[in-house]
């Protein structure tokens, strides 16, 4: 086994990546992002004659300053700072370093941005056009319809949807079980329109696409295999164009779900559970897009409104 002193930067980053994947259950995409950010720091340290074990607070501050000078976005700088804090926190806990140089590192928080959303009328038009386009002659049009209905009805991430199996659907209870970030399972409800689309898909259209490669996958492609995220993104863009609404990606439907739930009176905790957010802070991004509801709630509740 390689000693701590002899461990190279590439080796320690690979070990950190394995920790993120196996111990913290992070997705491959998140692991790549975190390890890429740490490698960026270690390359900066190497350019100044330092190894990963010789990184200190002044070097970290210089690294952040170099990114600001390069005009990287606040979001990128904040993300890289968070990744490095996670790395050194793990290294300290694992006994790889004697002190955490990032403990007093301060990074500017990214400015809050308004997620792109569809209005209720636009979302309704998108789904209605998809419903009308769905025909028994082309099972893929039914697949597109049910994918859109589930994305909007449940607010699930596109990766969660494509990973779902037929057995994850409770049709009588109108519930969908998905595996979220960090391997956390949650059950989300869906309404009658999505249930109708699922009935059309599961009782007829899906069976016409099934092959021996289909397995238990809920959503299938033209060759009978589980759809991937790229295919779902493409169908969402096609549907938006066909409906004549703003071009959106699947994640915009998730944002729309959160916004419309809050506008309709749902509380933050419930929306947090539906979306699978780890903290309430993430869900609170959507509260400022419904000022009418805030005013109405204030006027109903405050004694001196």
Q: Which of 37-46, 190-199, 218-227, 286-295 has the lowest mean pLDDT?
A: 286-295
157 given a catalytic annotation? yes
Q: Domain with 127 in it: what CATH number?
A: 1.10.443.10
Return the closest-CA partner of residue 164 out of 140, 142, 187: 187
177 is catalytic: no
Residue 234 has pLDDT above 70, yes or no: yes
Note whether 152 and 247 are same-domain residues. Answer: yes
Distance of alpha carbon 44 from alpha carbon 42, whole angstroms: 5
Higher pLDDT, 272 or 169: 169
Domain count, the chain: 2
Q: Which of 19, 143, 260, 277 is catalytic?
A: 277
Order of strands across the sheet with 169-170?
169-170, 175-179, 185-189
Query: Are residues 265 and 170 part of one domain?
Result: yes
* Residue 251 annotated as catalytic: yes
Is residue 191 in some structural domain?
yes
Please confirm, yes or no, whether 277 is among the known catalytic residues.
yes
296 vs 206, more confident: 206
Least confident of 135-149, 203-217, 251-265: 251-265
CATH of residue 17: 1.10.150
Instruction: Kindly state whether residues 285 and 204 are assigned to the same domain.
Output: yes
Q: Check pLDDT > 90 for residue 41.
A: yes
Regarding whether 146 and 236 lie in a shared domain, the answer is yes
Q: What is the pLDDT of residues 55-90, one digit of tens each?
A: 999 999 999 989 988 888 888 888 899 899 999 999
The answer to whether residues 223 and 176 belong to one domain is: yes
- For residue 106, the model assigns a pLDDT of 78
Residue 99 lies in a domain: no
Determine which one of 24, 181, 196, 237 is catalytic: 181
Residue 300 placed within a domain: no
Same domain assignment for residues 224 and 263:
yes
**Residue 231 lies inside a defined structural domain of this protein:** yes
Among 80, 143, 254, 255, which one carries the catalytic annotation? Answer: 254
- Considering the domain architecture, whether residues 75 and 169 belong to the same structural domain is answered as no
Q: Which of 263, 303, 302, 270 is nearest to 286 (CA)?
A: 263
Kindly state whether residues 266 and 169 are assigned to the same domain.
yes
Whether 296 is covered by a domain: the verdict is: no
Say yes or no to pLDDT of 3 above 50: no
286 and 138 assigned to the same domain: yes
Axis crossing angle, helix 250-263 with helix 120-133, rounded to the nearest 10 = 130
Torsion of CA 143, 146, 151, 156, to 10 degrees: -80
pLDDT on residue 285? 66
Q: Is 286 a catalytic residue?
A: yes
| Residues of the chain above pLDDT 70, percent | 87
Residue 286 banded pLDDT, cuts 50, 70, 90: low
Residue 108 confidence class, pLDDT cut points 50, 70, 90? low
Does residue 114 belong to any structural domain of this protein?
no
Is 197 domain-assigned? Answer: yes
Choose the catalytic residue: 157, 226, 255, 260: 157
What pLDDT does 90 receive?
95
> pLDDT grade, residue 287 (50/70/90)?
low
Range of the domain at 137: 120-291
């Amino acid at each position: 086994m390689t000693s701590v002193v002899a461990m190279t930067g590439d080796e320690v980053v690979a070990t950190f990546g394995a920790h993120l994947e196996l111990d913290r259950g992070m997705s491959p995409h998140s692991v790549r992002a975190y390890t890429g950010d740490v490698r960026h720091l270690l390359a900066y340290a190497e350019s100044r004659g330092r190894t990963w074990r010789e990184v200190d607070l002044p070097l970290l501050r210089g690294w952040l300053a170099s990114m600001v000078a390069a005009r990287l976005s606040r979001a990128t700088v904040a993300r890289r700072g968070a990744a490095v804090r996670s790395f050194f926190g793990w290294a300290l806990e694992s006994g790889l370093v004697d002190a955490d140089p990032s403990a007093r590192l301060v990074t500017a928080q990214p400015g809050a941005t308004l997620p792109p959303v569809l209005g209720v009328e636009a979302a309704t038009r998108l789904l209605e056009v998809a419903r009308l386009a769905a025909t028994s002659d082309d099972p893929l049009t039914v697949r597109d319809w049910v994918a859109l209905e589930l994305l909007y009805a449940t607010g699930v991430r596109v990766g969660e949807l494509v990973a779902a199996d037929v057995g994850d659907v409770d049709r009588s209870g109108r519930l969908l079980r998905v595996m979220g970030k960090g391997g956390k399972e949650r059950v989300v409800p869906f309404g009658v329109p999505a249930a109708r689309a699922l009935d059309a898909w599961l009782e007829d259209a899906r069976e016409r696409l099934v092959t021996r490669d289909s397995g238990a996958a809920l959503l299938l492609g033209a060759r009978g295999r589980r759809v991937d995220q790229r295919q779902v993104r493409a169908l969402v863009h096609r549907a938006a164009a066909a409906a004549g609404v703003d071009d959106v990606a699947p994640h915009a439907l998730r944002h729309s779900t959160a916004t419309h739930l809050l506008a309709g009176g749902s509380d933050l905790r419930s929306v947090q559970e539906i979306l699978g957010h780890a903290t309430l802070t993430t869900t609170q991004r959507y509260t400022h897009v419904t000022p009418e509801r805030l005013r109405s709630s204030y006027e109903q509740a405050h004694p001196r409104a």
